[in-house]
Structures are given as C-alpha cells and as structure tokens.
C-alpha cells in the first residue's frame, strides 16, 4: 500500500497540513511560553482555578512526562498536564491548561460529541489495526465482503477524526471565555497569544481529519476502480 504512488496522492495533503500545523504550534508555544501571566500563576494553578470556579473540585490535576502530552481522561476524571505546562507561569501554559479544563467541563455537562468520541476511541483503535489486513486480504482473495469490511472498519477512524473537531473547537472556545471571565488573561496581547496557541493546535486536528479521509478515499478508490478493473480483466 505504501509503495503505491496513488496512496500518497490521497494522503499527502493531510501529511503536509500536519507538518504545517506542527510547525505553527511549536512556534507559538515557544513564543508565548516566554510571555508571563499577569498574576504569575502556573498552568496547574490556572486549571485548578477554572475547575473550582465551575464546581469541579473532584477533578484531579497531574503532571505527566512528554512535550504537548496534555490531555483530559474522562474515565479517571483527571486532567494531565505536561511538565512544561504544569509548572510554567506563561500565556501558552494558561491557554493549554484552560483548553484541557474545557474538556473536563464538557464531560461534566455530558457534551454529546465528547460522549460519542469517548465510546468510539477503543473501537477506532482496534479497527485501525484490523482494517488494512482485512482490506488487503479481501483484494488478494477476491472476497468483496472482506474488502468492504476493511473499508467500513476504517470508517470508524475517519468518523473519530471528524468527531474530534467540534470537541476540540468547543473546548478552545470555553478556554478563552473562562480565562477572560476569571481575570487570568488580561489585555489584547495575552488574549491574542492564547488564540494563536489554541488556533495552531486546532490545525493538528484538522490535519488528522484530512489524513483519515484521504486514506479512506484511497481504500474506496481501489475497491471501486482497481478491484472492478481486475475482475473485468478475468
């Protein structure tokens, strides 16, 4: 599959967009990690203040290794922040911490897209491992049902990538509103910094969605055009 030039025609736009998104987020995080918050509070303190303001004292906050490894675990009710965010009193850290706090608020409010995504994640992870083998096996054995099973299974990964978009955009919108309403971010410069950091992060999710639909369209193209062409030749 990876040796097929047509595969890269479908997948390359998502990969290029992903590289662009990664460069933007690294640039903006590096820049606004140098801009301190007005009160000198760290990312962990920002998250705690925002969660407490919404009555979510039961959500724990932990430091986790890695760079940009920040995430909210809805099953453990735990917000995990990378050390760079957890300990740093910067605009970038405040924006990222507030974004993850936004996910905790979504969880508390039973935000429907997040609930669906949470249930879909383990299914999509398994499907991503199984789907290519089913697809290739179906083509080799000329069993169209098996090939279609691979296409449909991979569709769950495609669906997960697109369900992620409203979840992440909503969390970022909540983050900006909370940072301003709680007086953590003050002034146009700091707000612009938060918007640039979160906006750059949003592009990574868009790139993932574009990549997922690119792979899925490649599967469908091979099945409809190459698969049928091979069948006609025989």
CA distances from 131 to 14, 135, 148 (A): 20, 6, 9
With H, G, I as helix, E, B as strand and everything else as coil, classify residue 61.
strand
Are 216 and 158 in contact, with CB atoms under 8 Å apart?
yes
Considering 3, 100, 177, 195, which one is annotated as catalytic?
A: 100
What phi and psi values does residue 120 have, to the nearest 5 degrees? -80, -25
On whether the CB atoms of residues 96 and 85 are closer than 8 A, the answer is yes
Give the integer Cα–Cα distance in Å for 136 and 170: 38
CA angle 39, 176, 178 (to 5 degrees): 65
Cβ atoms of 92 and 29 closer than 8 Å: yes
- Distances in Å between the alpha carbon of 95 and those of 70, 117, 171, 226? 11, 23, 11, 47
177 noted as active-site residue = no
Spatial contact of 67 and 82, defined as CB atoms under 8 Å apart: yes
Non-local CB neighbours of 136 within 8 Å, separated by 6+ positions: 1, 150
Catalytic (active-site) positions? 100
């Amino acid at each position: 599959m990876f040796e097929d030039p047509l595969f890269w025609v479908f997948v390359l736009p998502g990969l290029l967009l992903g590289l662009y998104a990664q460069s933007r987020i690294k640039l903006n995080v590096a820049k606004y990690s140098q801009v301190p918050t007005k009160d000198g509070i760290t990312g962990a303190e920002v998250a705690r203040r925002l969660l407490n303001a919404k009555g979510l004292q039961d959500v724990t906050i932990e430091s986790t290794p890695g760079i940009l490894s920040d995430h909210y675990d809805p099953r453990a009710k735990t917000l995990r922040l990378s050390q760079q965010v957890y300990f740093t009193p910067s605009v970038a850290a405040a924006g990222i911490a507030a974004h993850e706090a936004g996910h905790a608020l979504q969880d508390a409010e039973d935000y429907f897209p997040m609930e669906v995504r949470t249930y879909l994640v383990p299914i999509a992870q398994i499907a991503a491992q199984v789907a290519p083998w089913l697809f290739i096996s179906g083509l080799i054995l000329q069993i169209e049902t098996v090939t279609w099973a691979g296409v449909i299974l991979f569709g769950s990964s495609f669906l997960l990538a697109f369900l992620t978009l409203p979840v992440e955009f909503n969390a970022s919108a909540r983050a900006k509103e909370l940072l301003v309403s709680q007086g953590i971010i003050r002034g146009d410069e700091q707000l612009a910094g938060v918007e640039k950091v979160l906006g750059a992060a949003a592009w990574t999710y868009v790139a993932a969605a574009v990549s997922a639909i690119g792979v899925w369209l490649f599967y469908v193209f091979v099945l409809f055009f190459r698969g049928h062409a091979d069948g006609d030749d025989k």
